[in-house]
Structure 1
Amino acid sequence: MLKSFIPAFALVALAAAPAFAHVTLETQEAPVGATYKAVLRVPHGCEGSPTVRIRVQIPEGVIAVKPMPKPGWTLETVKGKYAASYDYYGTPTSEGVKEVVWSGGRLPDEFYDEFVFRGYLTAGLTPGAHLYFPVVQECEAGVDRWIEIPAEGKDADDYETPAPGLKLLPKR
């Protein structure tokens, strides 16, 4: 019986593995009212296919976003109006980057890489809450949408394709 249990357990473990291999943030906690360096970790392609484009949506309350250029990739930002005006070191700020796009590169499925940007977490965000950065990972064949935002009382582990999340800490 033990011999048949081990292969069955191995199959279950392998089938569950992709659920744990999603796009995440390297630092998953940060204080409001401060600059945050977001490092998106991309651990694989789309079912074996190389990643060729990463799009990240910037949530409301994150302003002054500046993405880091990546050699071999084209960098674009999509700008728009914020839902509110925010104070950015004494300057009222009501529009800015709403989405960051890295494209034109090629990240094979067997490799890992990171995509980086920084932004300011406005003081009006709620400490203790989670902020989510939906990511769409486009591959040569297929797309993975890491866009699920947990409902009240749930967390990212309850979802198959969760958006990378950041726990907001009190202002220092």
Structure 2
Amino acid sequence: MKSSRVSFAAALAAGSVLVLSGTAFAHVGVQPGEATKGGYTTINFKVPNERDNASTTQLEVNFPVDQPLSSVMPQDVPGWTVTVEKSKLDKPLTVHGKQVNEAVTKVTWTGGKIEPGKFQQFPLSVGKLPENADQMVFKSIQTYDNGEVVRWIEETKEGAAEPQNPAPVLKLTAAKGAGQHGTGATPDEAKNADKAAASGHDEAASEHSTDTTARALGIAGIVIGLGGVAFGFASRRRSA
């Protein structure tokens, strides 16, 4: 009897851990979780349905106003309608020599349905990412068809446990190299490196060609020499 009670308690505890783990990890998030500072990238907002008796019918993603992006382009998601809202900037941005006076502050997807036990991804192409920040926080709101609203807006504090409704976070990392060779070379240096590599390749090809020709001539000389020896030997036999 005691053994049965222990087994039942262990099973109950294990089940509780699984339930709590599912609740902790099944939240709106951004993938991939990191991108390069100052660059452009494609991110996906992954939205799981956490309810057994309701479907998700709307996702609202808010962009940080203190980290304006000059470009935010959504990809079509079948069955969903996307709305992009912009706001005027207090301080215009200069991107590729052009002045940008407004930036996206909110993107909302509606009209579709994420049923229980399923998830949906909502892609966005974004840039230019901040160069002087380590992360971007996208506070999001998930709405169900039963009227329930879940606000994924809590920011995780360093050294603290993850909050119950964490906001999606995109971590920003330093670029490994500005040049196309991944060594931090400038575009001109990269071009010079390409020219040097091409020149080295041509020289190597030339050397290979010269060496091949020399070998061919050497072999031909040997063949001719052997032919001459054979001819001389045959002549001697005739004269004898």
TMscore range, shorter length: 0.7 to 0.9
Aligned to 1:62, what secondary structure does the other structure show? Answer: coil
Please give the alpha-carbon distance, in whole angstroms, between the structure 1 residues aligned to 2:101 and 2:131: 14
Aligned partner of 2:103: which letter?
G
Is 1:146 aligned to residue 162 of structure 2? no
Render the CA deviation track for 1:85-117: whole Å, top value 9, x for unaligned: 222222121312110011011110221110011
Is 1:167 aligned to residue 171 of structure 2? yes
Question: Percent of aligned pairs with the same residue?
Answer: 26
Residue in structure 1 matching 2:59, options 54, 57, 80: 54
Sort the Cα spacing of 1:17 and 1:122 in 2 relative to 1 into closer, same or farther, 3 A: closer
- Would the aligned equivalents of 2:26 and 2:50 in 1 still touch at CA under 8 Å? no
Please give the alpha-carbon distance, in whole angstroms, between the structure 1 residues aligned to 2:31 and 2:114: 18
Q: How does 1:1-172 map to 2 (within 5 A)?
A: 1-46=6-51, 48-59=53-64, 60-126=67-133, 129-141=134-146, 142-151=148-157, 153-154=158-159, 158-171=162-175, 172=178
Shift of 1:131: 1.2
Aligned partner of 1:71: which letter?
P
Please give the alpha-carbon distance, in whole angstroms, between the structure 1 residues aligned to 2:103 and 2:109: 17
Q: Please, what TM-score do these two structures have when normalized by structure 1?
A: 0.87
Q: Please, what TM-score do these two structures have when normalized by structure 2?
A: 0.64
Whose helix fraction is larger, Structure 1's or Structure 2's?
2
Aligned to 1:163, what secondary structure does the other structure show? Answer: coil
> Aligned-pair RMSD on alpha carbons?
2.0
Q: How many residues align?
A: 168
Shift of 1:61: 3.2
Render the CA deviation track for 1:9-37: whole Å, top value 9, x for unaligned: 21243134212100111211111111121
Greater Rg over alpha carbons, structure: 2
Work out which structure has the larger RCO, using CA pairs closer than 8 Å and 6 or more positions apart in sequence. Answer: 1
Aligned partner of 1:30: which letter?
A
Structure 1 gaps of 5+ residues are none
Shift of 1:124: 3.8
Please give the alpha-carbon distance, in whole angstroms, between the structure 1 residues aligned to 2:14 and 2:85: 45
The range that moved more, 159-168 or 65-74, is 65-74
Shift of 1:63: 2.7
Shift of 1:83: 4.6
Sort the Cα spacing of 1:71 and 1:103 in 2 relative to 1 into closer, same or farther, 3 A: same
Whose strand fraction is larger, Structure 1's or Structure 2's?
1
